[in-house]
Chains A and B, each alone.
Chain A
Amino acid sequence: MYFYDWILLNKETLKVLYGAVIGLICAVIVLRTDRLFRLSLHQGIRYFRNAFFFFGIGFIIRYFLSPLDFSGREGIIYHSLANFLFEYFLVMAGFFLLYSLLWKRLEGKGENYFSSLFNFRILVFHIMAILIVILDTVWRSYLFMFSSQIIIFTITCAISLVNYAENGSKHKFLKFYFLAMLLSLVAWVLNALIALALNWHKVVLTDIYIINLLIFLLFLYGVVKLTRKIN
């Protein structure tokens, strides 16, 4: 238990460090995949890049802006807004990650949007994300975010498992991709459990932080390994 005790003792510093590490990982992934997208104009790479752009912003808001101390009415407004934005960016990131795997089946041939952040398909995600955050704000819970993410990561798990079963022998990272999706699903289920039944149990919460870090490191490994030949 020394490990958990040490973490709990230094939790505020570690939270900021955790946010910085994940923010940095996301920045590397976004920069590397943006270069690939600009060369290929491949929509899947574009949505994948967007997912990590949104993850990065979400985590920076959560671990850098939310801890800032404001008191009184301004404090309530500030923290509510930071929470609103954190949830919105995290939910949108999940949608983008899912869509990066599905876009081929959904977009027509030659369909090429000027913006991948604001077009009528992505508008549906924006509306859904805003609705989820509003419902959570009204209910004062994370229930809708957890439910939406569990659904999203169950689907991405299934898709990545199929991809791995079909092409895993040729493309080695598909195995790690599936593992990352499975870990994401586990992390969201644990998140829902500690929020709804375990009263934010600190040891389980620490495990979730570690799982999340592992997921981002897996993606970083894949992106760096597969793009290292790019000039």
Chain B
Amino acid sequence: MAKKRERLEIIKDILESIRSSRQIKPTRLLYSSNLSPQMFKEYINELVKKEFIRIEIDDKDKKTFLITKKGNDFLAEYKVIENFIENFGL
């Protein structure tokens, strides 16, 4: 059985999906994140709150997600953060 993804790993996966597409629609991001709709919503709300991503709404009222500078910083340091947490058992 595959190991359950940790919270930080899920955040990294979501941010990487957004970054690789530059901007991405909610349905596509939901598929690529491999989360349930409920969990997806929770993570997106958290990422918006932390200012890792922002939501853009176009003229037709369609939403797209974009990664912010803070989100990009997180991705750049993700390995260091992950390594630190695991080495200190936090």
A residues sitting closer than 8 Å to B (CB atoms) are 36, 39-42, 44-45, 47-48, 100-101, 110, 159-160, 163, 167, 170-174, 177, 222, 226-227, 229-231
How many Å lie between the Cα of A182 and that of B5 in the bound state? Answer: 31
The verdict on B50 contacting chain A, using a C-beta distance below 8 Å, is yes
**Is the beta-carbon distance between B42 and A173 smaller than 8 angstroms?**
no
**Is the beta-carbon distance between B86 and A39 smaller than 8 angstroms?**
no
Shortest beta-carbon distance from A123 to chain B in Å? 22
B16-24, B27-35, B54-62, B73-81: which lies at the interface:
B73-81
**Is the beta-carbon distance between B88 and A170 smaller than 8 angstroms?**
no
CB-CB nearest in chain A for B73? A39
**Is the beta-carbon distance between B90 and A226 smaller than 8 angstroms?**
no
How many Å lie between the Cα of A40 and that of B86 in the bound state? Answer: 14
Which residues of the partner chain B approach A41 to less than 8 Å between Cβ atoms?
50
Given known pairs A40-B74, A44-B85, A110-B46, the reply for A227 and B90 (CB within 8 Å) is no
Most-contacted residue by chain B among A40, A47, A170, A231 (CB, 10 A):
A40
Interface of A is mostly: helix
**Is the beta-carbon distance between A39 and B77 smaller than 8 angstroms?**
yes
Given known pairs A226-B84, A229-B80, A230-B80, the reply for A159 and B89 (CB within 8 Å) is yes
Interface of B is mostly: helix
**Is the beta-carbon distance between B90 and A171 smaller than 8 angstroms?**
no
The verdict on B36 contacting chain A, using a C-beta distance below 8 Å, is no
Which residues of the partner chain A approach B42 to less than 8 Å between Cβ atoms?
110
Query: CB < 8 Å: which of A36, A159, A167, A172 contacts B84?
Result: A36
Query: CB < 8 Å: which of B50, B77, B88 contacts A230?
Result: B77
Which residues of the partner chain B approach A173 to less than 8 Å between Cβ atoms?
87-88
Which residues of the partner chain B approach A36 to less than 8 Å between Cβ atoms?
77, 80-81, 84
**Is the beta-carbon distance between A177 and B89 smaller than 8 angstroms?**
yes
How many Å lie between the Cα of A92 and that of B88 in the bound state? Answer: 19
How many Å lie between the Cα of A171 and that of B87 in the bound state? Answer: 5
Shortest beta-carbon distance from A107 to chain B in Å? 12
